[in-house]
A and B are shown apart, each in its own frame.
Chain A
C-alpha cells in the first residue's frame, strides 16, 4: 500500500498517467465513462428506508428514519417544515489506513452539513411540519467520490422510505486533467492533485443543490467542467431510476399482484 501511495504523490510528474494519449484512464475508462453502479434498496427491515450503493470500489450504506417526532432538542423544531438531520461517517476499515475517529472530526461534520443542505433542497419538507427526518450514511469502502456516492445512496434510501422528493438527487465528482474533464474520479485521481468538482443535481430542472470545488482551475474551464458534471449526474439518474423501478417490480411480485 505504501508503494501505491508513493506513485500517487508524484502523480503528474512521472509514472502514473491519469489520462493516457489514447484517452484511457488508470482503470481503463474513457474520460466521460462512469464507474459501474450497483444498488439495492430496502436492505434493512427495521429502518423506514435503506439502500446500499456501490460505484466502482466505493461502497456506501444509507439509512433513513422518519418523518418522526422531533427528538433531542425540541427548540430546534420548525413550525412549517421538517428538520433534516444527517450524519456522515466512515467505517474505520474503509481506507487503507485505519481511521481513528469515524465521527466528530471536522471533515465528517462538514460532509454531514453538506448532505443536510443537499437534501433540504430536494425533500418536500413542507409536508411534515414539526417533524424530523434522519439520514445516516456510512462509507464501507472508500475509493474516491465519497460525497457523490453518499448522496446517491441517500436518495435511494429516502425513496425507499416513501418520503416525497422534488426529483432524484444525483451527484458526481469530476476532475480536470490535460484540458479534459474526467467523470467520476477514483481515489488515485482525486489525490493526484487534480482539480475536482462535486456537484449534486436535480436532473429534470437542471438545478444545482450543492456545488463544491477544490484546487486550482482556470475560470475559462469552469463551464466545461460543470457541463461534464451535469452530464455525469444525468447518467447516474438514469441508473437510479432503473434501480427504483426494478425494486418496485420485485416488491409487487413478492406481494403477489
Chain B
C-alpha cells in the first residue's frame, strides 16, 4: 500500500516549526523520546519502546559448519523485518530500499565493529561453530527505526544465554538449559546508533526524528558509538551535503547520548537479573502497564511555594471589604432563607437579566405587598419566592386546609436565583 502523501500545509508547518526550534511533541533539538527497555521470559528476547516506535529483537543460536575462510570463528547473522504491522507503507515479503538500508546499517554497526568475541563461539574448529542469529521485528513505526533496532539488538545480545557445550575427545555434548546453566555471550562493547535528521539543506538538525519529521527531512546521519567514545560506524544518507564541522558536532552529541542510553540498558539488564533471581514474574506481559479507566491517579503537581506568605498577606491587605448583608431570613422556626433580594450571581444572559430586573422591580412591589398581606392573613403560610409564575409556599401541617395555592407546585424551598427559572413559551 502506498504511503499517504504528506500535504503541503503539513510539510510547511513542520518546517516552519523546526525553524523556530519547536518540535511536534515539545522536545528540545537534542532530546530523545522516552526509552523503555523490557525483556521477555526467554533469554535473548528484548522489547524496546522509543516514544511510540516499538521494536522486538530475538536472539537464537544453532550449531553449523563454519565459513571456509574463517574456520575457528562463529557466525553472526542479522535480519530486520519490516512487517506491515508497523506501518501500512511496508509490504509483506518485498525487500524495499529501506529494508536493505536498515539491514546493512545494523550489520555494519554490530558485525564490523566486532562487538562480540566470535572465536569464543567456536566448538570444533573447522567443523562446528555457533551461529548466532538476531531477528529484529518492527512492531510500530513512529520514526527512527534504526536507533530502536540497534538498542534492541545489542540489549538482546547482552541478555542472551547460549547452551553450554562439553567436549570429550571427539565427542561434543550440548547440554540443555536444565542440565547446565546456559552461558552468556562475551561482548566486548555495546555499539549504539544515534540518528540526526537534517532540514533546509543542513541548516537545522534534530536528534531522534519522529515519523512526521522523517517525512520532511532532507537527509539523515547515523553515528554508532560505544560508551568508550569509539565510533563504530558512520553513515550519511539522503541527498544532503555535510560539512566537516557538522559531522564533528554530531559525533560529540552522539557520545553524550550513547553514554546515557548505555546506562539505561545496563539498568534494565540489572533489573531483569534481580527479578529472575527473586523468582518473581518477569517478561513482557508483566512489564506492560495496567491501563484501566477506573483507576484514577493523578501525579502530584508542583506548586510554586516561594514567598507565599508575603503574597497572601498582600492579598489580604489589599482586598476590598465586602458589604455585610443581612440576608438571612427566618420565616419559621426550623426554616431559614438566605440570599433573598441579593443581586443575581448566576451569570445568566444580560437580556434575561435586564428583563428580569424590570420584571422583578414591578413584581417586588407587588409580591412584598402580597407577602405582607398574606402574612397578615395566614401567619403560617410564608412566601419564599417572588416569582410571578410559580409560587412557593410552605405548608404547615396544621394549616394545610387553610392554605390556598395558586400553582400546583409543591412546597419546597427555592432560592431566589433558582426561582428565576423560566417557563416561557
Contact = CB atoms under 8 A, between A and B. Distances in A.
A218 B235 CA distance: 16
A107 interface: yes
B236 A215 contact: no
B78 to A, nearest CB: 10
- Candidate in B100, B101, B103 with the most chain A CB atoms within 10 angstroms: B100
A220 B70 CA distance: 32
A238 interface: no
A47 interface: no
B244 A208 contact: yes
A213 B230 contact: no
Interface stretch (A12-20, A127-135, A222-230, A248-256): A222-230
Given A212-B235, A216-B231, A219-B251, A206 B100 contact: no
B241 A222 contact: no
Interface string A107-147: 10110010001001100000000000000000000000000
A219 B231 contact: yes
Contact of B104 (A106, A216, A219, A227): A106
Given A202-B241, A219-B255, A213 B233 contact: yes
A117 B240 CA distance: 8
A206 B243 contact: yes
- Candidate in A205, A217, A227 with the most chain B CB atoms within 10 angstroms: A217
B247 interface: yes
B170 interface: no
B232 A120 contact: no
Contacts of B242: 207-208, 211
Interface of A: 5, 9, 106-107, 109-110, 113, 117, 120-121, 193, 197, 202, 205-220, 222-223, 226-227, 230
A218 B239 contact: no
A211 B243 CA distance: 10
Contacts of B8: none
Interface of B: 69-70, 95, 97, 100-101, 103-104, 108, 112-114, 189, 221, 225-226, 228-244, 247-248, 251-252, 255
A170 to B, nearest CB: 14
A227 B243 CA distance: 12
Contacts of B113: 214-216
Contact of A113 (B101, B226, B234): B101
Contacts of B103: 106
A48 to B, nearest CB: 22
Given A213-B235, A218-B228, 18 more contacts: A5-B69, A106-B104, A109-B95, A110-B101, A113-B100, A117-B236, A206-B243, A208-B241, A208-B243, A209-B239, A213-B234, A214-B108, A215-B113, A215-B114, A216-B231, A219-B252, A223-B248, A226-B247
B100 A109 contact: yes
Contact of A121 (B233, B241, B248): B241
Contacts of A107: 104
Contact of A226 (B104, B236, B241, B244): B244
A214 B244 CA distance: 18
A120 B239 CA distance: 6
Contacts, number: 96
Contacts of A211: 221, 234-236, 242, 247
B230 A216 contact: yes
Contact of B241 (A209, A213, A218, A223): A209
Contact of A230 (B108, B232, B244): B244
18 contacts: A109-B97, A109-B100, A110-B101, A117-B239, A205-B241, A208-B244, A214-B112, A215-B112, A215-B232, A217-B230, A218-B231, A219-B229, A219-B251, A220-B229, A222-B231, A222-B251, A226-B244, A227-B244
A190 to B, nearest CB: 11
A110 B239 contact: no
Contact of B244 (A206, A213, A220): A206
B228 to A, nearest CB: 8
Given A110-B104, A121-B241, A206-B243, A216 B114 contact: yes
B103 to A, nearest CB: 6
Nearest to A84: B239
Nearest to B98: A113
A226 B101 CA distance: 23
A172 to B, nearest CB: 15
B243 A207 contact: yes
Given A117-B238, A211-B234, A222 B248 contact: yes
A87 B214 CA distance: 26
A219 B251 CA distance: 7
Contacts of A223: 244, 248
Contacts of A219: 225, 229-231, 251-252, 255
B149 to A, nearest CB: 16
A171 to B, nearest CB: 13
Given A107-B104, A216-B114, A207 B230 contact: no
A88 to B, nearest CB: 12
Given A113-B100, A211-B247, A216 B241 contact: no
A249 B241 CA distance: 32
Contacts of B69: 5, 9
Contacts of A207: 241-243
A200 B364 CA distance: 92
